[in-house]
Amino acid sequence: DAGVIQSPRHEVTEMGQEVTLRCKPISGHNSLFWYRQTMMRGLELLIYFNNNVPIDDSGMPEDRFSAKMPNASFSTLKIQPSEPRDSAVYFCASSPPVGGSYNEQFFGPGTRLTVL
Amino acid sequence: AQKVTQAQTEISVVEKEDVTLDCVYETRDTTYYLFWYKQPPSGELVFLIRRNSFDEQNEISGRYSWNFQKSTSSFNFTITASQVVDSAVYFCAACSGGGADGLTFGKGTHLIIQP
């Protein structure tokens, strides 16, 4: 079975450019999460969706960041314009419908973003 | 909201020693979930265990064991007879009840197992 798929795996861009990160959740999962990992701040939740609807975007750092989930099988995280401090590993995770108890989040391999 | 504290930034032990990774959490929720994840040098996040706030039973899985104590708000992780392959960053995380909330992670503990 395919796990969470993220693309690209590595992205190097220059300051000011637009960056789009992509995520395909596991089929049948209805919750999707975007996390960012940096040395300074560790792993932090940016935004999450339930049934394609954004539930909590309080972790999105600035208006330069936006996320969409147009359908159950695809989500994007966009940074426009990018800045060097956005350099990080961005993880996408998905989880199945809740069935009486919390369900495990399955993480993708991450996208390593470097903004020069 | 939750807060997770992993006070040990880095631990280095010699292979075959036992090692305990500490995790202290803060939450106002009565229903919450606690997790441990492993991040090996390759970078992926590997799920190890989930515990809910109503289940204080300790758990053992092979060389791994977890001690959950609500009285001290701790969820510690012990590796018995450590191996070089256990070298990784270990994260403790928490989320509130509800089932589809995001995780709050601790800063992680870098565990180094020396041969």
Identify the pLDDT of residue B61.
87
- The C-alpha atoms of residue B22 and residue B8 are separated, in whole angstroms, by 7
Out of B44, B101, B105, closest to residue A43 by CB? B105
Q: Among the listed ranges A21-25, A104-108, B111-115, which one has the minimum average pLDDT value?
A: A104-108
Q: Please list the helix, strand and coil fractions of chain B in percent, rounded to the nearest 5, in that order.
A: 5, 55, 40
Contacts of A95 in chain B (CB under 8 A): 100
pLDDT in tens, B42-73: 999 999 988 888 888 888 889 999 999 999 99
Query: Whose CA is closest to A116, among A93, A92, A82?
Result: A82
Please report, in angstroms and rounded to a whole number, the separation of the first and last CA atoms in chain A. Answer: 36
- In chain A, which ranges are continuous DSSP H helix? none
Q: Is the pLDDT of residue A11 over 90?
A: yes
- A97 confidence band (pLDDT: 50, 70, 90): confident
Contacts of B104 in chain A (CB under 8 A): 45
Q: Do B100 and A95 touch (CB under 8 A)?
A: yes
Mutate to test the interface with B, among A69, A105, A107, A111 (most CBs of B within 10 A): A105
pLDDT in tens, B65-107: 999 999 999 999 999 999 999 999 999 999 886 556 889 999 9
Q: B86: helix, coil or strand?
A: helix
- B30 confidence band (pLDDT: 50, 70, 90): confident
Average pLDDT, chain A: 93
Q: B12: which 2 tokens? A: 């280095």
Identify the pLDDT of residue B52.
86
Burial group, residue A90, by CB count within 10 angstroms (0-12, 13-18, 19+): buried
List residues of chain A with CB under 8 Å from any CB of chain B: 30-31, 33, 35, 42-45, 48, 50, 55-56, 59, 89, 91, 95, 98, 101-107, 109-110, 112
Out of A42, A89, A102, closest to residue B105 by CB? A42
